[in-house]
Amino acid sequence: MKLSNLFCNLKDMLNIVIFGAPGSGKGTQSENLIKRYNLAHISTGDVLRAEMKNGTELGKLAEGYIAKGQLVPDDVVIGMLANVLDTKKDAAGVIFDGFPRTIPQSDALDEMLKERGQEVSIVVSLEVEEPELIERLIKRGQQSGRSDDNMETIKSRLDVYKNQTSPLKEHYEKTGKLASIKGVGTVDEIFERIAEAVDKIK
């Protein structure tokens, strides 16, 4: 294969950042996106929870932050993402779910993709009001066993989102890659809104 073709193919990769507050539906909508676009899925929250379950050093470190609803330090999450990204080379692109959550993380993602001849294609931001987010998470908390689905930690997660993560929206707005999607309605209705935005850039 010619080098120029290889470069062209890499640029065609569909890299979707799915962005939104806790409970906005990032994980739920990622499942639909994977099916429709044949993408790999990286949820940093899922990776951290798996590390916790396996009792690894990383899991032990993450546990305290997650239980308090705080962010795991940037350098830890960035290193973890780089490792996971290398295992997804064969997919037609990647859905980044819950990453980036800070400006240093978004810079690191740009850099990692650039090194691979790729870039972020679109940032899908799911917009849901706080009372609905709380209701969804409390409901899930009754069955999930997730250590952070309790009222105190939910409040802290929402504050962290507001103060540390939501400023990224302005950052992505400037790059012209932000697609704000109303995240309320049935799962299918929301997915159709997302797919319409994704299909526009394909």
Residues making contact with ligand AP5 (CB under 6 A): 20, 22-28, 44-45, 48, 65-66, 69-72, 77, 98-99, 101, 105, 136, 140, 148, 157, 187, 190
Is 157 among the residues known to form the active site? yes
Comparing CB distances to ligand AP5, the nearer of 14 and 157 is 157
Considering CB distances under 5 to 8 angstroms, the limit depending on partner class, which of Mg ion, ligand AP5, none binds residue 99? ligand AP5
Rounded to the nearest whole angstrom, what is the least distance from the CB of residue 40 to ligand AP5 in the complex? Answer: 16
For 59, the token pair is: 């899991």
- Secondary structure of residue 78 in the 3-state scheme: helix
Comparing CB distances to Mg ion, the nearer of 30 and 102 is 30
Q: Tell me how crowded residue 175 is: count the other CB atoms within 10 A of its CB.
A: 12
Comparing CB distances to Mg ion, the nearer of 46 and 119 is 46
Q: Which of 49, 136, 157, 193 is catalytic?
A: 157
Rounded to the nearest whole angstrom, what is the least distance from the CB of residue 74 to ligand AP5 in the complex? Answer: 7
Rounded to the nearest whole angstrom, what is the least distance from the CB of residue 76 to ligand AP5 in the complex? Answer: 8
- Where are the alpha helices (H) located in the chain, listed in sequence order? 3-11, 26-37, 44-53, 57-68, 74-85, 103-115, 130-144, 151-160, 167-175, 187-201
Give residues in contact with Mg ion (CB under 5 A).
26-27
Q: Tell me how crowded residue 70 is: count the other CB atoms within 10 A of its CB.
A: 16
Rounded to the nearest whole angstrom, what is the least distance from the CB of residue 19 to ligand AP5 in the complex? Answer: 9
DSSP-derived secondary structure for 144-191: H--TT-SHHHHHHHHHHIIIIITHHHHHHHHHT-EEEEE--S-HHHHH
Residue 40, H or E segment: strand 40-43
Comparing CB distances to ligand AP5, the nearer of 20 and 93 is 20
Rounded to the nearest whole angstrom, what is the least distance from the CB of residue 99 to ligand AP5 in the complex? Answer: 4
Is 136 among the residues known to form the active site? no
Comparing CB distances to ligand AP5, the nearer of 71 and 122 is 71
Is 193 among the residues known to form the active site? no
Q: Please, how many CA atoms are within 13 Å of residue 190, restricted to the half-sphere of its CB?
A: 24
Which are the catalytic amino acids? 26, 101, 140, 146, 157
